[in-house]
Amino acid sequence: MESVLPFPLLASQRQNGVYVLSLQQHTWPAFKEGQHAQGERLRLIFNEKAAAAVADLLPELAPRAVAILQREQSLYGLELLLEVGICQAMHNRLESIGELDYLSIAATASLPQLSTPGLLVMDMDSTAITIECIDELAAAAGVGAEVAQVTERAMQGELDFEQSLRQRVAKLKGADQSIIDDLCARLPLSPGLESMIAELKSHGWRTVVASGGFTPFVGHLQQLLGLDAAFANELVISDGKLLGEVRGQVVDAAFKADVVTKCAGQWQIAAGQRLSIGDGANDIPMVQAADFGIAYHAKPKLASVAAAKINKLGLQALPFLLQGR
């Protein structure tokens, strides 16, 4: 075990032939990730801004042992072996710390293996990228307010996804194709997306985008990140103008869930290694179709059914939710 650890507030030393981690007057036995596959565990994922708060909390958590999680990401990760699961008051304490996400792991639970090839299916808008493409296109076409009204009706349950999609796209009729090209050129990636994808790919993972958005944008992401597949809705364009229609099967919530199942079968992904991540209620079937569904800065309905949540950090937190060696 290294004597200089990634988490600077913990020191490593040998005591009676055993490595321990120490913090001021407190010491805990050190273990290697994966050594304790059973037992109540708590994973803490955080950046430097939260390091002092985590250090203050460790004695209160009173872990039986502590492991340092090593990832190819610019974050810190700890796994704590606990006597019992954390109480609601401790959940509230953890939620109150900015720049920290966490995962409570039940004694009998197992996580997907980072070093075993798997599948990640991602939503695009507000997950892989920080914007909603339809809103940006509408603003560029001068119909932002009209599209927002349709979006609000959908959020109120007055329209299903396909109705909402077709009505919003209809507002784009006559817009110049250049608004798509312009948006592709400045598509804002979510923090940590590139490094997260790179780490998964280094372990043989397949990565896919399944979006209720549009093919030019998922195609751009596929080329930029080397994704294995990308699915979205196709806008109809003629003579450089949008016709206000989509062509072919609509990529809705059910379609996105099917992507998880079909891609896992196509690439023979082992049981337990299918992941999905999204932010909205439309992602619930996709998240539930996966073995391990993740809610990313998500709406409450999705967060309530996901196996894990990333609420404060970027996508570089995702590899810390997987089981390393």
DSSP assignment string, 91-127: HHHHHTSTTEEEEEE-TT--PPBTTS--EEEE-TBTT
Provide the 3-class DSSP secondary structure of residue 80. Answer: strand
Is 181 annotated as catalytic? no
Output phi, psi for 306, to 5 deg: -80, 150
Q: What is the dihedral of CA 146, 151, 155, 161, to 10 degrees?
A: 140
| 236, burial (CB in 10 Å: exposed 0-12, middle 13-18, buried 19+) | middle
Of 125, 252, 279, 291, the active-site residue reads: 125
Give alpha helix (H) positions in the chain. 51-61, 88-95, 133-141, 144-155, 161-170, 178-185, 193-202, 215-225, 253-266, 284-289, 300-303
> In the 8-state DSSP scheme, what is residue 129?
B
Q: Residue 223, Cβ neighbours under 10 Å: how many?
A: 10
Provide the 3-class DSSP secondary structure of residue 44. Answer: strand
Of 56, 101, 123, 176, the active-site residue reads: 123
Q: Which two tokens stand for residue 270?
A: 């082992």
In Å, what is the CA distance from 59 to each residue of 56, 63, 106?
Answer: 7, 8, 21
Q: Which long-range contacts (CB under 8 A, 24 or more apart) does 92-99 make?
A: 93/57, 93/60, 94/44, 94/57, 97/46, 97/50, 97/53, 97/54, 97/57, 98/49, 98/50, 98/312, 99/46, 99/47, 99/49, 99/50, 99/312, 99/313
What are the catalytic residues? Answer: 123, 125
